[in-house]
Chains A and B, each alone.
Chain A
Amino acid sequence: MARIIVVTSGKGGVGKTTTSAAIAMGLAKKGHKTAVIDFDVGLRNLDLILGCERRVVYDFINVINGEASLNQALIRDKNCNQLYILPASQTRDKDALSLEGVGKVLDELTKDFEYIVCDSPAGIEKGANLAMYYADDAFVVTNPEISSVRDSDRMLGILSSKSRRAERSEEPIKEYLLLTRYDADRVKSGEMLGLDDVQEILSLELLGIIPESKSVLSASNAGIPVILDEKSEAGQAYADVVDRYLGETRPHRFIDPKKGFLSRLFGGRK
């Protein structure tokens, strides 16, 4: 029985697709057979981040409509044979998704995968609602700025009231916070909300802080999930996130500003 994870935020551009690609790859690298689904029908991106855009033949909508089998549409990742990608359709829109159709595809995936990662589109409309409806766990991706925090809060309300688990009065979706694009220096100077400010409003279990990092953009452009860049801080932070999600204890890193060369040499003033 697979665990269904939704990566969601409400707000756009906060790093949902980057996160989906990274954690799906992280779980697969740990030996768990993982599928990652792009729910952003019409604005296909996940395949680019995972570098498989040239191998897309059939997509999620084809499977829902019965025009292709799941096995025909799933693309096996070339870096990790435990990771499969179900791309979104570029030529359709979110109306092509249906509750029954999504449910059918997830049911079928549940049979031979351990984790299913659903990459939610931005917004709180149909695409986002369907991405989270069947979820067991939610990774709420938030940037340290007020509008992103507010949108995440709104999304949390939807998670707790509009999901299948809520409708069946089952145990609620487990919600985790992922604070992305965190710049400890700007937090220190008061330009950016800090972890405490965000947690005061959201009060969620923190799965990880992903520092703002140039390596994210270059990894995206290269089509390699940033988690595979083990030298980058973002890559390490995502690896920690996967470990924590799997139940291991990892101290939180990247909360405090990096010390410069001189202050390291002479010891920072307190």
Chain B
Amino acid sequence: MLNTSPVLEFKSSTFFAPILILCSHDLVAIEEALQEKIRLAPEFFRDSPLIIDFRELNKLHLDLDFAQIVQLLRRVGFFPVGIRGGNELQNKQARELWIPIDTVRELGGTITIGETAKPETSQPAAPQPAVAAPREPQPAIVPPTTPAPATLITHPIRSGQRIYAIGDLIIMSQVSAGAEIMAEGNIHVYNTLRGRALAGVHGNTDARIFCFDLQAELISIAGDYKTSEDLNKQKYNHPVQIYLQNHALIIKEIA
């Protein structure tokens, strides 16, 4: 029998891309700041897609040529895939460069930076950690300030499943070995945590991980991590919290 499979099909899917929020129109300063970020995490940023957000810039009435910033980003190794919050001229330039224009969804004067992550396992799109919060004054890049809603999950996270939450992630059930849970905010697991847990994946060093029973394969906050080999087995079967202090992960029992 002849195989009559279709030539193509359309499917809807979501994937993660960091958003670069520009707050300065000084191209030299921007490039320097980007190179600094890339130097800190070259693997994270290699060939990363990027959405350029002009809202801050336009609020400050700073003018920036879209074609120039795209050229700069491509030169340092990014793939600009979208523009949001651009003015008429910037949008027109984007269209000429075949870069899609994202209409910013206004929510009472604030923006949502994405959908609340649903338990997503079928097409695990690797989340691209975005630019971390800079500490120096007058930053070229700042993280979005709108608090994202928390994601609540009540079913077990099984081996091979990946969960990504834009805000906090709250899991009422167990997280199996071989599962991966990630949040831009805090992670709470009110059960046994056996898989990998990564909090503050966009560089939020204040993010914490809380769990009832820490047996994780890996824990990470804002890129600083520990594998199960480094974890103190004495903390097993105790509720703990994990936070970052001077780039060291502190695991502390919750009394």
Q: A residues engaging B (CB < 8 A)?
A: 65-67, 150, 153-154, 156-158, 160-162, 172, 200-201, 203
Contact = CB atoms under 8 A, between A and B. Distances in A.
B155 A160 contact: yes
A154 B121 contact: no
A150 B195 CA distance: 12
Contacts of A154: 158-160, 178
A153 B157 CA distance: 9
Nearest to B160: A154
B54 to A, nearest CB: 37
Nearest to A159: B158
Nearest to A172: B155
Contact of A157 (B1, B174, B179, B194): B179
A8 to B, nearest CB: 13
Given A157-B160, A161-B122, 19 more contacts: A65-B1, A153-B159, A153-B176, A153-B178, A154-B158, A154-B160, A157-B157, A157-B159, A157-B179, A158-B121, A158-B160, A160-B158, A161-B119, A161-B161, A162-B121, A201-B176, A201-B177, A203-B156, A203-B174
6 contacts: A65-B1, A66-B1, A153-B158, A154-B160, A161-B119, A172-B155
B108 to A, nearest CB: 29
B121 A157 contact: yes
A56 to B, nearest CB: 20
Contacts of A150: 159, 177-178
Interface string B4-39: 000000000000000000000000000000000000
Nearest to A64: B1
Closest 4 interchain pairs by CB? A157-B158, A153-B159, A161-B121, A154-B159
B contact patch SS: loop
Contacts of B158: 153-154, 156-157, 160
Contacts of B119: 161
Contacts of B122: 161-162
B44 to A, nearest CB: 26
A160 B177 CA distance: 17
Contacts of A172: 155
A150 B177 CA distance: 8
Contacts of A156: 156, 158
A63 B176 CA distance: 39
Contacts of B121: 157-158, 161-162
A157 B153 CA distance: 14
A86 to B, nearest CB: 18
Nearest to B191: A203
Contacts of A157: 121, 157-161, 176, 179
A160 B179 CA distance: 14
A66 B1 CA distance: 9
B205 to A, nearest CB: 31
A123 B242 CA distance: 36
Most chain B CB within a 10 A radius of its CB, from A65, A153, A158 = A153
Nearest to A65: B1
B230 to A, nearest CB: 22
Contacts of A160: 155, 158
A133 to B, nearest CB: 12
A260 to B, nearest CB: 36
A30 B160 CA distance: 38
Contacts of B177: 150, 153, 201
Most chain B CB within a 10 A radius of its CB, from A65, A160, A200 = A160
A269 B1 CA distance: 68
A162 B123 CA distance: 10
A212 B179 CA distance: 31
Contacts of B178: 150, 153-154
A39 to B, nearest CB: 19
A150 B176 CA distance: 9
Nearest to B194: A201
Interface string B170-189: 00001011110000000000
A67 B1 CA distance: 9
Contacts of B159: 150, 153-154, 157
Nearest to B121: A161
A154 B159 CA distance: 5
Contacts of A67: 1
Most chain A CB within a 10 A radius of its CB, from B158, B177, B178, B179 = B158
A161 B119 CA distance: 8
A46 B119 CA distance: 35
Contacts of B174: 203
